[in-house]
Structure 1
Amino acid sequence: MERNILGCRSSSWTIVIGWFNMVGNIIALVLLVTLMPQITANVFDKNGNSVQLARESI
């Protein structure tokens, strides 16, 4: 396989875009599942302790 992006643009870009799309969907799902309870709890939390916990857990 050539490393030249311009040489094999169609094949390499479809693979890269498909891979980023899959990884992006997985990351989005994980962030939604893990951060939504902390974000909703943050709305009612005045101290901001859950914000620091969310940043440390990542």
Structure 2
Amino acid sequence: MSKRNIEKHILMNKAEAQDLQKKAKRACLSEGGLIRLILCQEKVQIKNDFFPSCQHT
């Protein structure tokens, strides 16, 4: 297993934190493990029109 030595902090509201906790528990993963799983999925759809200032050419 690779070593994870980069720390990231995210801010969320109480409802989002509880939702993350419930989903991680149902998946038998840690909250960090669930976030890493979501980030690795290829089916994530990114809409560039949501943030017009972030248009990549």
Q: Same fold (TM over 0.5)?
A: no
**TM-score interval (norm. to shorter):** under 0.3
Bigger fraction of residues in helix = 1
TM-score (norm 2): 0.27
Of structures 1 and 2, the one scoring higher in RCO (CA 8 A, sep 6+) is: 1
